[in-house]
């Protein structure tokens, strides 16, 4: 999950970083090929928080499903 577009203590929204999974491999497979990355389509910080909250349960279930494969 990208956690960006959220306001910091100064009220500024953070920028998107790089996908952290590109440098991790499991059984010679890049982790970024195994897991998906959630990115909110909203721009407003409050809507991004709401979007993460609304989707968090499904995202956790997806990770559990991937792990069990």
Q: How far is the CA of 60 from the CAs of 32, 44, 53, in angstroms? A: 16, 23, 11
Place of tokens 């499904």: 58
Radius of gyration of the chain (CA): 14
Domain count, the chain: 1
Task: Count the residues in the chain.
Answer: 69
Whether residue 47 lies inside any domain: the answer is: yes
Give every CB contact of residue 23 below 8 A, 6+ residues apart in sequence.
none
Whether residue 8 lies inside any domain: the answer is: no
Whether residue 11 lies inside any domain: the answer is: no
Whether residue 2 lies inside any domain: the answer is: no
Whether residue 10 lies inside any domain: the answer is: no
**Tens-of-pLDDT digits for all 69 residues of the chain?**
777 888 889 999 988 888 878 888 888 888 888 878 888 999 999 999 999 999 999 989 988 898 887
User: Which pLDDT does position 23 carry in this prediction?
Assistant: 85
Please give the residue range of the domain that contains residue 30.
20-68
């Amino acid at each position: 999950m990208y956690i960006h577009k959220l306001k910091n203590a100064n009220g500024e929204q953070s920028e998107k970083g790089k996908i952290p999974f590109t440098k991790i491999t499991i059984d010679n497979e890049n982790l970024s090929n195994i897991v998906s990355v959630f990115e909110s389509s909203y721009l407003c910080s409050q809507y991004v928080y709401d979007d993460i909250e609304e989707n968090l349960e499904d995202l956790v279930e997806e990770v559990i499903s991937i792990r069990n494969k």
